[in-house]
Amino acid sequence: KAGVTQTPRYLIKTRGQQVTLSCSPISGHRSVSWYQQTPGQGLQFLFEYFSETQRNKGNFPGRFSGRQFSNSRSEMNVSTLELGDSALYLCASSLAPGPANTGELFFGEGSRLTVL
Regarding 39 and contact with other proteins (CB under 8 A), the answer is no
Binding mask 53-82 toward other proteins (x if CB under 8 A, else -) reads ---x-xx-----------------------
Instruction: Please state the closest distance from residue 15 (CB atom) to other proteins, in A.
Output: 27
Regarding 1 and contact with other proteins (CB under 8 A), the answer is no
Closer to other proteins by Cβ: residue 3 or 16: 3
3-state SS track over the chain: CCCCEEECCEEEECCCCCEEEEEECCCCCCEEEEEEECCCCCCEEEEEEECCEEEEECCCCCCEEEEECCCCCEEEEECCCCHHHCEEEEEEEECCCCCCCCCCCEECCCEEEEEC
Instruction: Please state the closest distance from residue 10 (CB atom) to other proteins, in A.
Output: 12
Give the chain's radius of gyration (CA, Å).
13
Of 19, 3, 2, 1, nearest to 116 by C-alpha is 19
Instruction: Please state the closest distance from residue 106 (CB atom) to other proteins, in A.
Output: 8
Instruction: Please state the closest distance from residue 48 (CB atom) to other proteins, in A.
Output: 6
Residues engaged in binding other proteins (CB under 8 A): 3-4, 33, 35, 40-45, 48, 56, 58-59, 90, 98-99, 102-110
